[in-house]
A and B are shown apart, each in its own frame.
Chain A
Amino acid sequence: MSAIVCSHVDKSYGATSVIRDLNLSIEEHEFVVFLGPSGCGKSTLLRMLAGLEDISGGEISIGGTVVNDLDPGDRGVAMVFQNYALYPHMTIFDNIAFGLKRQNVPKAEIRQRVGAVSTTLGLDPYLDRKPAELSGGQQQRVAIARAMIKTPKVFLFDEPLSNLDAKLRNHMRVEIARLHQSLNTTTVYVTHDQLEAMTLADRIVLLRDGRIEQIGSPAEIYERPGNLFVAGFIGTPNMNFIDVTIGRDGDAWTLTNAGTVFTISGERFRLQQGERAVLGIRPPDLVAASPGASGNLLEGTADLIEFHGNDALVTFCLGGKEISALVPSRACPAIRADVRYGFDESSLHLFDAQSGMSLRRQ
């Protein structure tokens, strides 16, 4: 049984439509990440699941019950907010215990459950403090504790780590992953950080303008992006795109871009002669070509070199477009040097120039 089902869900504020005809089903115990650019409706969708936002159309069910008209408290969900949303005047203990007190749980049980949760999250030393006396990371842990203690059917996270610094973010990300491993609660997690999405998700739901662009495991989304938007959005550094025209050369297919011709077998793609397409290749998939190599080469003059530590990002111009290649730092060319990069056909992505859809065979 699916934990969450959204069918034909719409959301509009007055005349502006924010979510359009969204269909999604989330399995029990699954960790699903909503990913997408700012303003695409991730938070809105999450808040609709939580019951903090009315549903304009369609139906949402959680654990088999339609929740459209249920109060937030009755949906069996717990939410962690981006800015923690702790009750500032209460101690940490009271913050965590608030939900249980409202449900009239006996005092002794409250004390025991708060103790258990605070031990799990390492909050024991802080129970008597006020939220303002904790660091950001500790406050977010309190927020997670407050969500955990209700033993909800579903955890909802809205960018829980975006107020934390990079190091703490990594640390908390690992903690959330651990927590999910041990509790196994269905989780919906909103972020615009790809790394968080990739590392935490069982499945990523990629949203744009209130529509789902692609749903899939992190590997699927990275390796087989369904369209140009997904390909460009996922992966840092960004995928290189080159406009090409498809042609035929004997048994092989040719992809021509202003003088550069790539020859491929094209078995993995649905190609048609004369069509215009967009070739996509990720920077790490470009490898320096040996001096004698010929064919399927991207050539240019390195005009920008960004040092990333182990790797360096080499940017050069090809037919008026910037192309980048991620190469090991020790093999990094000098600036203004001529560079030649080749690629393996298996790492190639092709998209229809008009619709932006992938030309890959299913």
Chain B
Amino acid sequence: MPRRSSLPVTFVVPTLVILLILSMVPTLYAIVIALQNRELSSADYSYVWFSNFYDLFSDRRFLNAVWVSVKWEIVTVAATMTVAIGLGVLMFEVASPRLRNIYCLLFIIPVLLPRVSAAFVWKFAYHPLYGIATYPYRLLTGGMIFDPLSKPATALFAVASVDVWQWGLFFAVIVLKLLETLPRQPIEAARLDHARSWQIHAYVTLPMLKAPLVSLMFVKMIESLRSFDLIYVMTRGGPGVATETLDMYAFSQGFIESGKVSYASAMAVLMMVATVITFTMLWKRVQA
């Protein structure tokens, strides 16, 4: 009966086509541009094929950006998960149910702030003369100046701490709620089995929560890839190139410094390929 089977197709096909166009066209276009030598300053271009990619690997600033991106990813994901699990377990162990609710409410607020607002709030907090985050340092050293955002050694961590402030606290709430859903009996059995509080969590509750915690980590890994706005507001990749991640570098190559759109596109394409491969591999490993 061809009439019947054509009905679902009629509804599904247009949506699929739109979705495909929306997702595939920009991607394909980016790939095409990456193979050309377009610049913002002139309209003519030609195909240079892989020479953009070839250039990238001898570009020290690009290699630095890769390294900064990897550092950013590792630092933010590790710190977020550590803070989330640490705070979640701490709340679970010591806070009364009422206090927990209050903490949960407080801990959700940072993540509700738009990134850019959070970035501005903290940028001011890190201000060497007036910021409250640097106030303890001024107090202890009798007014010496410390500007974490303008020191290459500390800038990345200062920006990462804003990210952790937003996501670590929020994930702590999720970890607490996960712990609260666990059955009580295995925990009680562990107490009877001579396990201390930290051992109960290390050996019983957290392993029981392995699957949701791994999912949380993946969410954070993907989220950490989109930190452009945070870094842009706080340091613009500086000082020097200390916090210049791949997306920052691509942006400045494409639109700020030289207008080398094709070069920036090549970077974006590489980043996409690397991300897809890395995540697929990680996901497969976790599933196994």
Contacts and interface: CB of A to CB of B under 8 A. Distances in A.
- Binding partners A and B: yes
A83 B185 contact: yes
Contacts of B193: 73, 98-99, 102, 146, 150
Given A85-B185, A98-B203, A79 B208 contact: no
B150 to A, nearest CB: 47
Nearest to A99: B193
Contact of A73 (B185, B191, B204, B207): B191
Nearest to A89: B207
Interface residue SS majority, chain A: loop
Interface string B172-199: 0000000000010110111111111001
A132 to B, nearest CB: 12
A150 B186 CA distance: 17
Interface in B220-238: none
Contacts of A78: 192
Interface in A61-103: 71-74, 77-79, 81, 83-90, 98-99, 102-103
Contacts of B196: 102
A81 B185 contact: yes
B100 to A, nearest CB: 19
A85 B208 contact: no
A85 B194 contact: no
B60 interface: no
B191 A87 contact: no
Contacts of A84: 185
B3 interface: no
A74 B195 CA distance: 11
A87 B204 contact: yes
Contacts of B204: 87
Interface in A263-286: none
Interface residue SS majority, chain B: helix
Contacts, number: 64
Given A87-B204, A88-B208, A102 B195 contact: yes
B195 A86 contact: no
A89 B191 contact: no
Interface residues of A, number: 25
Nearest to A94: B203
A102 B199 contact: yes
Contacts of B208: 87-89
A90 B190 CA distance: 13
Contacts of A204: none
A146 B189 contact: yes
A81 B199 contact: no
B285 interface: no
Given A102-B193, A102-B194, A52 B188 contact: yes
A50 interface: yes
Nearest to A150: B193
B194 A79 contact: no
Contact of B189 (A71, A87, A103): A87
B210 interface: yes
A81 B187 CA distance: 12
Most buried by A among B194, B196, B210: B194
A52 B185 CA distance: 10
Nearest to B189: A85
B183 to A, nearest CB: 8
Contacts of A98: 190, 193, 195, 203
A85 B188 contact: yes
A52 B199 CA distance: 17
A72 B186 contact: no
B210 A72 contact: no
23 contacts: A50-B188, A50-B192, A52-B191, A71-B191, A73-B192, A77-B192, A79-B192, A81-B188, A85-B186, A85-B188, A87-B203, A87-B204, A87-B208, A88-B186, A89-B210, A98-B193, A99-B192, A99-B193, A99-B194, A102-B196, A102-B199, A103-B194, A146-B193
Interface of B: 183, 185-186, 188-196, 199, 203-204, 207-208, 210
Given A50-B192, A51-B192, A102-B194, 8 more contacts: A72-B192, A85-B188, A86-B186, A98-B193, A99-B193, A102-B199, A103-B194, A150-B193
